[in-house]
């Protein structure tokens, strides 16, 4: 009875803190401009099942893909045992499903234990890759400090979860073999049936019960802690990868979206449309200079970023020593959304009059934006279909069309387009030289 009450209190506290965290993320995503995203529903479901659920794009790098698969499958299948832990915590039972499922229960728990061992090995290798082998993509400038610690904390959390599982199952098997009341036989588990007696077989009944209860609480408290921590971690992609792949663009990667205002002006210049005399004289804002002028899907992508660095590792600009890092672009957008969200929550500003004297250009420099070649390598590399290029293009459009800024070496090209309709300074009219080809 005491354990059930304690479980309910911990569950309520976890629910409160988790709700606050996820609510904050939702509000920050909603800072973006409304945008309607349609398209072929079948293609969107295909992206969800193949890319988000099936990890399809992870397998472009085979070793980390296999290791990640061990952790991912273990995470998914372990939820079965987690459901039982919840039921036991709420009802005061012990292994609630075991009498109802019989040998199938033994098979499921054994399968979870095998996956847990594989996940443990994968976690150790991932820790070694980051901290011992020091893979370059994990040690870029944007990964210093919290982002690097965040990845290590999650990996250490995985190890704690696995320790909890084997303390719980191992202690359970020892107590079952001794016929201790409340610990009914559940068959031989693949790992804990021999690991439990080896580790805890020499302990007294009371000590083994303490180990088993320690494992049970360690596992569930780590899960609760993970749920509360997730909204502040890059591992939020565990949840957001699914909606992000659903809303991913279905158009060809090289296709850029036109700006309606510019299209209208071009049509008027070509005599395809009449100018509206009631159109306001002041120019609209082109592109994006802050979170408010990005679309909500851009912000969803920023929160879905796994910080794996595959985009930056494949970026030709970054590979040649330029400052651009597509991963940093996504992290900067998320950080700016976090900053604005905190300011709005504190009551310093409202969304309608927000002006803290900063913008995305304080996070992402023009040098980074100008280095992008729009090759789409980052878009192709992302395992969850994030598009850093879309944000880069929107910021470049704002810089050039709204701020009238940009690299000096680009000006001849702009002048040539304005005067000749082409990037080359042709002396003939466009129709004349076009007809020669």
- 97-146 pLDDT, tens digit per residue, is 888 888 999 999 999 999 999 999 999 999 999 999 999 999 999 999 99
pLDDT at 114: 95
Tell me, what's the pLDDT at 435?
Answer: 57
Do 264 and 187 belong to one domain? no
193 and 147 assigned to the same domain: yes
Note whether 217 and 76 are same-domain residues: yes
Residue 436 lies in a domain: no
Indicate if 155 and 65 belong to the same structural domain: yes
Which class for 34: exposed (0-12), middle (13-18), buried (19 or more C-beta within 10 A)? exposed
SS3 content of the chain, % helix, strand, coil (to 5): 70, 0, 30
Q: How far apart are CA 39 and CA 181, in angstroms?
A: 59
**Amino acid 427: pLDDT:** 61
CA dist 113 and 120 (Å) reads: 10
Same domain, 45 and 24: no
Q: What is the DSSP-derived secondary structure letter of residue 400? A: I
Rounded CA-CA distance 357/366 in Å is 18
Phi, psi of 249, deg, nearest 5: -65, 140
Residues 429 and 48: their CA atoms lie apart, in Å, by 49
Question: Within this chain, do residues 141 and 195 fall inside the same structural domain, yes or no?
Answer: yes
CA distance 396 to 401: 8
**Sign of the dihedral defined by the CA atoms of residues 51, 57, 62, 64, in that order:** negative
User: Which residues of the chain fall below pLDDT 70?
Assistant: 278-283, 425-437
What whole-number distance in Å separates Cα of residue 397 and Cα of residue 391? 10
Residue 189 lies in a domain: yes
d(CA 283, CA 123): 54
Question: What's the CA gap between 95 and 105, in Å, rounded?
Answer: 10
Both 14 and 114 in a single domain? Answer: yes
Judge whether 424 lies within some domain.
no
CA gap 264, 288 in Å, rounded: 19
3-state SS class at 295 = strand
Kindly give, in sequence order, each residue whose CB lies less than 8 Å from that of residue 168, ignoring residues fewer than 6 positions away. Answer: 212, 215, 216, 218, 219
Q: Are residues 166 and 38 in the same domain?
A: no
pLDDT at 437: 53
Residues 389 and 315 placed together within one structural domain of the fold: yes
Instruction: Tell me whether residue 240 is in a domain.
Output: no
Distance of alpha carbon 396 from alpha carbon 286, whole angstroms: 9
What's the CATH code of the domain at 300? Answer: 1.10.1060.10
CB 386 within 8 A of CB 51: no
Residues listed for the chain? 437
Q: Which pLDDT does position 109 carry in this prediction?
A: 93
Residue 165 lies in a domain: yes
Maximal CA-CA distance, the chain: 97
Same domain, 7 and 90: yes
269 falls within a domain:
yes
Decide if 134 is inside a domain: yes
* CA 317, chain centre distance (Å): 24
Taking each helix axis as running N to C, give the angle between helix 205-229 and helix 62-91, from 0 to 180 degrees, rounded to the nearest 10: 110
Q: How many C-beta atoms surround the C-beta of residue 286 within 10 A?
A: 18
Decide if 307 contacts 327 (C-beta within 8 A): yes
pLDDT for residue 430: 58
Backbone φ and ψ for 295, nearest 5 degrees, come out as -80, 155
Our count of domains for the chain comes to: 2
Residues 219 and 76 in one domain: yes
- Assigned domain for 412 exists: no
pLDDT digits (tens, 9 = 90+) for 385-397: 999 999 999 999 9
Contact 412, 300 (CB under 8 A): no
Residues 66 and 143 both lie in one domain: yes
Per-residue confidence (pLDDT) for residue 108, from 0 to 100: 92
Q: How many CB atoms lie within 10 A of CB 163?
A: 17
Range of the domain at 376: 31-54+251-273+284-405
pLDDT for residue 254 = 80
């Amino acid at each position: 009875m005491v354990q059930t009450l304690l479980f309910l209190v911990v569950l309520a506290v976890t629910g409160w803190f988790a709700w606050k965290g996820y609510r904050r993320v939702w509000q920050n995503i909603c800072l973006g401009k409304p945008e309607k995203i349609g398209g072929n529903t079948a293609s969107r479901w295909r992206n969800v099942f193949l890319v988000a659920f099936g990890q399809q794009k992870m397998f472009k790098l085979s070793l980390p893909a296999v290791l990640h698969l061990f952790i991912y499958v273990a995470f998914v299948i372990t939820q079965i045992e987690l459901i039982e832990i919840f039921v036991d915590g709420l009802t005061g039972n012990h292994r609630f499903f075991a009498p109802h499922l019989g040998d199938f229960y033994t098979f499921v728990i054994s399968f979870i234990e095998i996956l847990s061992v594989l996940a443990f090995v994968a976690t150790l290798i991932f820790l070694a890759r980051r901290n011992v082998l020091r893979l370059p993509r994990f040690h870029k400038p944007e990964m210093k400090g919290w982002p690097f610690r965040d990845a290590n904390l999650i990996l250490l959390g995985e190890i704690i979860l696995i320790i909890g599982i084997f303390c719980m199952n191992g202690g359970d098997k020892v107590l079952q073999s001794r016929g201790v009341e409340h610990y009914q036989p559940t068959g031989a588990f693949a790992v804990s049936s021999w690991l439990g007696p080896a580790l805890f077989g020499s302990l007294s009944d009371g000590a083994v019960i303490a180990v088993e209860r320690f494992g049970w609480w360690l596992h569930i408290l780590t899960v609760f802690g993970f749920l509360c921590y997730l909204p502040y971690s890059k591992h939020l992609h565990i949840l957001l990868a699914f909606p992000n792949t659903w809303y991913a663009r279905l158009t060809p990667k090289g296709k850029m979206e036109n700006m309606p205002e510019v299209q209208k002006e071009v049509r008027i210049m070509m005599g395809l449309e009449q100018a509206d005399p009631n159109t306001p004289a002041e120019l609209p804002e082109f592109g994006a200079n802050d979170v408010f002028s990005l679309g909500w899907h851009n912000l969803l992508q920023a929160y879905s970023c796994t910080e794996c660095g595959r985009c930056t590792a494949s970026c030709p600009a970054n590979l040649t020593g330029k400052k651009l890092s597509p991963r940093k672009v996504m992290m900067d957008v998320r950080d700016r959304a976090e900053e604005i969200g905190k300011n709005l929550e504190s009551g310093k500003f409202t969304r309608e009059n927000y002006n803290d004297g900063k913008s995305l250009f304080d996070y992402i420099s023009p040098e980074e934006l100008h280095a992008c070649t729009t090759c789409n390598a980052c878009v192709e590399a992302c395992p969850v279909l994030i598009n850093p290029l879309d944000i880069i293009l929107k910021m470049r459009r704002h810089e050039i069309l709204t701020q009238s800024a940009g690299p000096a070496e680009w000006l001849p090209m702009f002048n040539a387009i304005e005067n000749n309709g082409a990037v080359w300074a042709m002396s003939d009219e466009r129709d004349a030289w076009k007809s020669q080809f």
